[in-house]
Chain A
Amino acid sequence: MGNENSIPMELCSNSRVNCIDFKVENFDADEIRRLGKRFRKLDLDNSGALSIDEFMSLPELQQNPLVQRVIDIFDADGNGEVDFKEFIQGVSQFSVKGDKLSKLRFAFRIYDMDNDGFISNGELFQVLKMMVGNNLKDTQLQQIVDKTILFADKDEDGKISFEEFCNVVGNTDIHKKMVVDV
């Protein structure tokens, strides 16, 4: 897994967390072409970028409670739209060839809503709320959040860093769960 085809730094200047892990060589030319076709299909207004509404035109995504978070992570520069480079980069983290670290990064970013490198108590609560909706009471949720942070937070700063996250999630079969064949 060489680094020679990594996307140049300036393409992802706004996202310091994810930059290092983006490698296009996770895909061969054919896969890129296929993804390109998919991208064009999703891009209903042919603007060259996918808006949230365009993602939401897929019924399967509409029903996914975490879709907002996933799109946010795709949108590396935070301009509210996902262009083709961001699209490829986002998908590439789910490639079979993608390494475990980048997959963990992606999972971490699901919880790390403000992208500051830490999962705070509030962030975890919000993401959990998205996942369960109104099926659990807020007090219950808060209990879960507190417990989870207490369990993972080794340096006791009240939030979960990426290392701490890896310690908890890293031993699960994440590289199996986060693989999508393109």
Chain B
Amino acid sequence: MALITSFVSVAISILYTPFLLLILCIIFLASIGKSLGVRRLYVNILLKLFEYGRQHIEVAEKIARKDSSDEEDEDPPVPDDKPPSAIIKENGSINGTKMTVIERHEILGPSPELNYKRSSSQERVQNGHRTDQAKGENKVDFHLSHCLDLVKAGMESIIEDQVTSVFEAEELRSWNLLTRTNRQYEFLTWRLTIIWAMGFVVRYLFLLPLRIMIFIIGVFVMIMSTWIVSMIPHDGLRGRIGRISYVMSLRILVRSISLVATFHDEQYSPKGNGFCVANHTSVIDVAILSSNNCFSLVWWLITCTACVGTLPDGKMKQRVNYAVSLMCFNFLSRCISAVITYHDTHNKPTRGICVANHTSPIDAHVLMCDNCYSLIGQRHGGFLGLLQRALARASPHIWFERSEVKDRHAVARRLKEHISVEDNPPILIFPEGTCINNTSVMQFKKGSFEVGGTIFPVAIKYDPRFGEAFWNSSRFGMLHYLLNMMTSWAIVCDVWYLPAMTRAPGESAVDFANRVKAVIARRGGLVDLQWDGQLKRMKAKKEWRELQQEEISKRIKSE
């Protein structure tokens, strides 16, 4: 025991200096906004490593299969004994993740649009039957094979259903050398085990402390710089210095999580902050994140929002806000080694409503590394409430009680008010209302589409090979999730800004929501689902079955 402690202390004393130097180096680089391309390199090396691991596993499995198939010739296969989840699905496609196992023909596709029925014409087209039920009332024609579609639909969902699978972490094609994605693999072959162990050491003993350190330092720098800036008297100089300091510490923060952000088509991105206007932003998710994660960040947030709050309203305040918040969120993203690629930045929302698909609590954070948004969310009490008030001091956010229906109208009204003000930042909304596992998009709640105004769709797609960004809230607690994120290889994600959309005349909010959803799904390579995301928590409604029955009876009548 004494030996170990002495060994550890020696190791610490040796590693202390390079570690510190590394941190300083990262911070310096971040503050001048340069990147050595280390993170990209890191990501590429990881990819090669995974590929090596995959080949290795496949070989090992082949050998194992050969052995077992010799025995299996005599006795019938006993599938129950097979190790669970040691599956590498080959029918994956994008990013090496599987999309669906079953190819569905939407015969009686799930269309439980009970909260808002899809326009009946659409349904009829989908199911391919005509509308002569008025006179078809008497001439009914039933065929014994009418049940087959239903049976098949049932069978499909028994084998693989679309709803519950999107609430679970995606399956990977190859093992990404994290224990949590597979508990079998590290004992597959010796070489892999060694690689895994090395990875473990790197992630927990190097990356994690490094990230935490940089995180804390970045927060500290921010606090200091915002404090200094607040001393400077009000004029153009203050704004400029403030901006520089914000951007600088922001970049440090980004470094701390080895974020790799690529901006495409940057020449189109809105020139000048005054236009892209922003207020302090953070989605409630981020608030949760920071509140659990690091008290100092929260403290900083409160401080800086307080500082900003003292500034007079106007362009200056917005500009400062913009810089502060960008910095803050970039900093945070460094803590998790986020590698974010932004596509088509010329479509970046400037004002109006921004909708995105929702995978994890860091979604908002990812988006806010590049732009400022107003947030809309549930009002919380206690500590979170404090945070929300702090945020609201600096910029217009909308907090409401989700359970109150009456409040919903009020929220819609406030949304309208918000977007009617020219200078307000875009509101960030996740219309799915819950986290989906990065493979699909679920039903969009129509509320945010009823308000009118321009909608800026944003598609976010994480690369699960480097770390699972999806928060399976029923399985992990917040802290566990954060630890997972901090000890993953990195968070790599793509962000696509899509062209702004407006509601066509005569188009219902529902149709519009579906249209936006389809666009996001197509761009992000996600599966477009009709299901309501609330199924994660609630039971399906009985009416849906009745809807299906209605569908069948229509079919019987009209054929």
Contact = CB atoms under 8 A, between A and B. Distances in A.
B540 A63 contact: yes
Contact of A180 (B149, B159, B553, B556): B159
A179 to B, nearest CB: 8
Interface in B157-175: 157-164
B495 to A, nearest CB: 30
B545 A180 contact: no
Interface stretch (B80-88, B253-261, B272-280, B297-305): B80-88
Residue in B65, B89, B147, B150 with the greatest tally of chain A CB atoms within 10 Å: B147
Contacts of A132: 549-550, 552-553, 556
A131 B148 contact: no
Given A107-B145, A128-B142, A33 B79 contact: yes
A161 B431 CA distance: 52
A104 B545 CA distance: 25
A5 B557 CA distance: 44
A112 B463 CA distance: 49
B153 interface: yes
Interface string A129-159: 0011111100010011001100010000000
B205 interface: no
B154 interface: yes
B77 interface: yes
B79 A144 contact: no
Contact of B79 (A59, A62, A84, A178): A84
A42 B161 CA distance: 11
B140 A144 contact: yes
B15 interface: no
A117 interface: no
Given A59-B531, A144-B142, A91 B159 contact: yes
Contacts of B103: 181
A177 B162 contact: no
A30 B540 contact: no
B151 A63 contact: no
Contacts of A61: 154, 157-158, 161
Given A38-B160, A63-B548, A8 B76 contact: yes
Contacts of B160: 38
B191 interface: no
Interface of B is mostly: helix
A33 B540 contact: no
Interface string B537-549: 0011000111111
Contacts of B112: 59, 63
A29 B102 CA distance: 18
A13 interface: no
A100 interface: no
Nearest to B147: A110
Residue in B65, B69, B87 with the greatest tally of chain A CB atoms within 10 Å: B87
A178 B153 CA distance: 9
A118 interface: no
B59 interface: no
Contacts of A180: 102, 152, 155-156, 159
A79 interface: no
Nearest to B536: A59
Contacts of A7: 76
A50 to B, nearest CB: 9
A136 B163 contact: no
B110 interface: yes
Interface in B308-355: none
Given A64-B157, A131-B150, A143-B140, A36 B545 contact: no
Interface in B459-481: none
A168 B157 contact: no
A17 interface: no
B101 interface: yes
Contacts of B69: 29
Contacts of A36: 79-80, 82, 84
Interface string B60-86: 000001001100100011011010111
B34 interface: no
A36 B82 CA distance: 8
A67 interface: yes
B129 interface: no
A64 B545 contact: yes
B146 A131 contact: yes
A148 B142 contact: yes
B144 A62 contact: no
Nearest to A129: B549
A84 to B, nearest CB: 6
Nearest to A33: B82
B89 to A, nearest CB: 8
B8 interface: no
A140 B147 CA distance: 18
B47 interface: no
Contacts of B544: 62-63
B101 A182 contact: yes
A70 B147 CA distance: 11
A40 B62 CA distance: 24
A82 to B, nearest CB: 9
B140 A140 contact: yes
A64 B159 contact: no
A60 interface: yes
B556 to A, nearest CB: 7
B552 A65 contact: yes
A70 B531 contact: no
A172 interface: yes
B535 interface: yes
28 contacts: A5-B77, A29-B77, A32-B82, A34-B89, A41-B164, A59-B161, A59-B531, A59-B539, A60-B157, A60-B162, A61-B158, A61-B161, A62-B540, A63-B544, A64-B548, A66-B147, A70-B151, A91-B158, A107-B145, A131-B147, A132-B552, A132-B553, A132-B556, A148-B143, A172-B148, A177-B145, A182-B101, A182-B102
Q: Which 3 A-B pairs have the closest CB atoms?
A: A133-B549, A135-B553, A60-B157
Given A61-B154, A133-B550, A181-B101, 18 more contacts: A32-B77, A36-B84, A42-B158, A57-B164, A59-B112, A60-B163, A60-B531, A61-B161, A63-B544, A66-B147, A70-B155, A70-B158, A132-B553, A135-B553, A160-B144, A172-B148, A174-B148, A177-B145
